[in-house]
Amino acid sequence: MVDGMHFEGLADEYATARPPYPPELWRRLHDLGLLRPGTTALDLGAGSGQATGPLLSAGLRVTAIEPGRRLARLLRESYPTATVQVARAEDVELPASSFDLVVAATAIHWMDLPIVLPRVRAALTDDGRLAVWRNVFGDSEAPPTPFRARVAEIVRARRAPPRPGPPAEDFAATTGALTESGLFAVVDASTYRWSLDLDADGVGRLFRTFSDWSAAEVAQAVDAVGELGGTVTEHYSSWLLVLAPTPDESGS
């Protein structure tokens, strides 16, 4: 069930079901000087463009890498000024020292980091940055809600094996995975908390995009919304990591 191409089969729905990243996250990137008009950005695992669009709106020149052909078509239709390549991050050919910013938005957990990180480091300019962020669906630090209790019940009853490795939402685990090679060091980290009201249709469309949720489990979540009054408030969070390449072995 856990499949990185799960989203390809839901391309049209994915574009509208997933909520955008919080404005505070984009303001932080701006304040760090990473959204300068005219600079070059590489969006890895671009999906339907939740990061590509705001990067273009900020005036950056964006190359979007997306392995799914249907999602790539949506990217081209929605953002014709972006350069879109259908490829995996592990396979795409990246010119050396050609990007000021490389981003992976709710996508890094699908990538083979021992392959991708050296490629990214080589593709970045001398003062370039790697920015990795994701939305976390279900903020563990938010007040518990009846709907989250129902979601937890559904997950506890799951018979399918869990996703291998540390949770994709785990900030500390992701930080460790991105820095253990010594190619990158964290220069900035931040977290943002936000909420979203969803009706049964919204929960169904959103939860169907989760690669580890079965159709039966999604139906249970949709039924729970109806039983809880027709609308639920979901507390989410987003974290952002900005990393700089470490000096190479020659000390340059």
Residue 251 has pLDDT above 70, yes or no: no
| Within-domain flag for 208 | no
Which of 72, 71, 42, 74 minimizes the C-alpha distance to 56? Answer: 42
What pLDDT, on the 0 to 100 scale, is given for residue 165? Answer: 57
Measured between its terminal Cα atoms, the distance across the chain in Å is 45
β-strands 231-245, 83-86: how paired?
unpaired
What pLDDT, on the 0 to 100 scale, is given for residue 162? Answer: 63
Residue 163 has pLDDT above 80, yes or no: no
Residue 157 has pLDDT above 70, yes or no: yes
Query: How many whole angstroms separate alpha carbon 51 and alpha carbon 53?
Result: 6
Give residue-wise pLDDT tens across range 22-71.
999 999 999 999 999 999 999 999 999 999 999 999 999 999 999 999 89
Q: What is the mean pLDDT of the chain?
A: 91
Contact 178, 243 (CB under 8 A): yes
Q: 10 Å Cβ neighbour count for 206?
A: 22
| Within-domain flag for 200 | no
| Within-domain flag for 89 | yes
* pTM, to two decimals: 0.90
How many Å is the Cα radius of gyration of the chain?
18
| Within-domain flag for 161 | no
Q: Which two three-digit tokens encode residue 184?
A: 């990158």
The domain in which residue 114 lies consists of 6-135+167-194+237-245
Q: What percent of the chain has pLDDT over 70?
A: 92
| Within-domain flag for 222 | no
| Within-domain flag for 206 | no
| Within-domain flag for 37 | yes
Total domains present in the chain: 1
What pLDDT, on the 0 to 100 scale, is given for residue 16? Answer: 84
Which of 140, 147, 151, 163 minimizes the C-alpha distance to 236? Answer: 140
What pLDDT, on the 0 to 100 scale, is given for residue 252? Answer: 43
236 alpha carbon, distance to own chain's centre: 14
The CATH number covering residue 122 comes to 3.40.50.150
The mean pLDDT of 208-226, rounded to a whole number, is 92
Residue 101 has pLDDT above 60, yes or no: yes
Helix (H, G, I), strand (E, B) or coil at 8: helix
β-strands 184-199, 61-66: how paired?
unpaired
Report H helices in the chain: 11-17, 23-31, 52-57, 69-78, 113-123, 146-156, 171-179, 200-208, 215-227
Residue 132 has pLDDT above 50, yes or no: yes
What pLDDT, on the 0 to 100 scale, is given for residue 54? Answer: 98
| Within-domain flag for 177 | yes
